[in-house]
Amino acid sequence: MAMAERVVRLAESFAPDPDYRISVDAVVEHHRIEFNGVTIADSEEVLVLHETRLEPTYYFPKAHVRMDLMETTDHSTFCPFKGNASYWTLRVREKSAENALWGYEEPFPEVHEIGGYVSFYRDRMDGWFVDGKPLDGYERSAVRTDPSGVKENPLVDWLLREAWDATTTRELVRRFANALNEAGLSVLRLNVVIPTLHPLLVAHSYRWSRDTGEAVRNAASNETFESRQYRASPLPLIFEGEGGIRRWVDAESINDFPILKDLYEAGAIEYVAMPVRFSDGQINALTMATDRPDGFTTESLGHVHEVIPLLSRLFEVHAKARTAATLLETFVGKHTGQRVLNGSIKRGDGEDIHAVIWFCDMRQSTPLAETLSRRDFLDHLNRFFDCMAGAVVDNGGEVLRFIGDEVLAIFPIGTDEAACRENSCAIGDACKRSIAAALDAQARIGDLNEALEAEGKPPIDFGIGLHIGEVTYGNIGIPERLEFTVIGAAANEAARIEALTKETEASIVISEAFAGNYQGHLTSLGEFSLRGVNGTRQVFTIPDDV
């Protein structure tokens, strides 16, 4: 018996000469499903949903399903023309199948017939019978309603031909928007939002508009995600796993979300927001608005829905690379992180460099640790690092290590010591920037101590030592745990010079070698012995009137 005699067409959604169709038919035959020896679904009122390039999906009325054996789960998925699907885990005695069935509580108009129905993953069922025969045999004998000669999805060709070549997420979003419009979607605006692992930022968004033809990257902080504007947007629903959103943009819907009012004024007709999942389960968001008079067709959304899984992997590659660079920059420093990314990953990798070496510590940290609570002491320490390390970074230095209450940093000059000595401009610039950083840090500590006094907390004192010399800049440690840092006599001498801040009562102590390369005025503190260094060394400080 031909399929045309087995089903009654209830709904069909497609455009003229369609590339993508979806239809819902009423099946005349009797369907029964078994699981662990129990009949869990039994009905003669089954619906079959046909979707281009996909296997038929059969939906059972809930009244004909043993819903008492089903447990609701938090899992959900989104289809741009079916809506948000809820899932259930099937449990019969000792055997269970997680998220084995799903249903659309409020399906979109294209397939409103499946509301109140559920479907099952066939491979998780023990038996599925149609008029007493296995389902597979029934389907092989049936004539599919899915039309022949369906065209290929144009976005698939774009993925293979162009998308993979985009080197940044911005470029990928721009190319995707262009591909959508070439496919006839008439996209007015497009936005991709990707949560990120970053100490200061929560997510990056990439917004494309037809007006500019470019994608702009925006960073979202914790404050952004806590704002009223964000909470009133569709994005929280996406990130919290509630599925997707589809709205006609008209005078009636603009009150649902503030973004719809903006789009209405821009001339948009329809808006869709959908989740884009990474392989690790992270949920991202893709939103689109069109100004086509008939909105997004089933054909166009079908094409987008088909390529989202592969497109998400391209977004994921960019996101992982950006996260790796961010974490390296955060934990080992910007310049050092770039060296690691460029391949300096083995023990012993590195080079000899000429640099200004900065070493500082927080005074009286032991008494502070004993008198303050652990939380207050850590807050004290981090605020000290904000002043010291913040000044180094803002003046072009590289923070290498936090050692307890100490900071080791460098202002690189070059890799060839002889050339560096001849290049007085490079040396002078590094010295100038390190002095500026020391004065900046001193000013920040002054402001911090005023704030601490107002809070009734003890002030912070510090010492900074500046030296210049050749150090080895590279990886040390064991193969399983490496650290990129500087080692050498110059680094040790910088620590000894900083120790003189206690003896001289000067907050900033500068070596004789540094003073010989610095063009500005310094005040001599006299000659001192450095622990572990033969002879005496003249040291200097910055005059009070600088």
Per domain, the residue ranges of the chain are 3-141, 154-330, 334-541
Q: Which of 147-156, 259-268, 357-366 has the lowest mean pLDDT?
A: 147-156
Q: Using CB atoms within 10 A of its CB, is residue 251 exposed (0-12), middle (13-18) or buried (19+)?
A: exposed
Residue 114 has pLDDT above 90, yes or no: yes
**What's the pTM?**
0.61
Q: Does domain 3-141 have CATH number 1.10.3720.10?
A: no
> What are the CA-CA distances from residue 437 to residues 285, 299, 337, 387 (Å)?
41, 60, 22, 10
Are the CB atoms for 208 and 189 separated by under 8 Å? Answer: yes
Residue 424 has pLDDT above 80, yes or no: no
Assign 3-class secondary structure to 173-214.
HHHHHHHHHHCCCCEEEEEEEEECCCCCEEEEEEEEECCCCC
Are the CB atoms for 507 and 462 separated by under 8 Å? Answer: yes
pLDDT score, position 138: 56
Highest mean pLDDT: which of 4-18, 480-494, 531-545? 531-545
Average the pLDDT over 400-412 and give the result. Answer: 88
CATH entry, 334-541, from 3.30.70.1230, 3.20.20.80, 3.40.630.10, 3.40.50.1000: 3.30.70.1230
| 324-332 long-range Cβ contacts below 8 angstroms, 24+ apart | 326/196, 326/197, 326/198, 327/197, 330/198, 330/199, 332/400, 332/484
pLDDT score, position 348: 60
Closest alpha carbon to 358 in 474, 495, 221: 495
Average the pLDDT over 410-417 and give the result. Answer: 73
- Residue of higher predicted confidence among 383 and 242: 383
Are the CB atoms for 452 and 460 separated by under 8 Å? Answer: yes
In the CATH scheme, what architecture does the domain 154-330 have?
A: 2-Layer Sandwich (3.30)
pLDDT score, position 490: 86
Q: Do domains 154-330 and 334-541 have the same CATH topology?
A: no
CA 246 to chain centre: 24
Residue 298 has pLDDT above 70, yes or no: yes
pLDDT score, position 196: 84
pLDDT score, position 1: 33
Q: Which of 211-220, 316-325, 447-456 has the lowest mean pLDDT?
A: 316-325
Residue 427 has pLDDT above 70, yes or no: yes
State the Cα angle at 105 between 104 and 110, rounded to 5°. 55
172 φ, ψ (degrees, to nearest 5): -65, -40
CA separation for the pair 175, 187 (Å, rounded):
12
Bridge-based pairing of strands 462-478 and 38-43 is: unpaired
State what percent of residues in the chain have pLDDT above 90: 51
pLDDT score, position 450: 95
73 φ, ψ (degrees, to nearest 5): -115, 175
CA 143 to chain centre: 46
Are the CB atoms for 291 and 282 separated by under 8 Å? Answer: no
**Average pLDDT of the residues of the chain:** 85
pLDDT score, position 52: 81
Q: Which of 142-151, 313-322, 394-403, 529-538 has the lowest mean pLDDT?
A: 142-151
Q: How confident is the model at residue 419 (pLDDT cuts 50, 70, 90)?
A: very low
pLDDT score, position 142: 45
| Token duo for residue 228 | 């009223």
Residue 527 has pLDDT above 60, yes or no: yes
Average the pLDDT over 358-364 and give the result. Answer: 91
Q: Which of 59-63, 320-324, 500-504 has the lowest mean pLDDT?
A: 320-324
H-helix segments, 455-511: 489-504
Tens digits of residue pLDDT in 189-207: 999 999 887 666 788 899 9
Q: How confident is the model at residue 534 (pLDDT cuts 50, 70, 90)?
A: confident
Tens digits of residue pLDDT in 19-41: 678 889 998 899 999 999 999 99
pLDDT score, position 145: 42
pLDDT score, position 140: 44
pLDDT score, position 468: 94
pLDDT score, position 277: 93
- Residue of higher predicted confidence among 475 and 508: 508
Tens digits of residue pLDDT in 50-92: 988 788 899 999 999 999 999 999 988 888 888 999 999 999 9
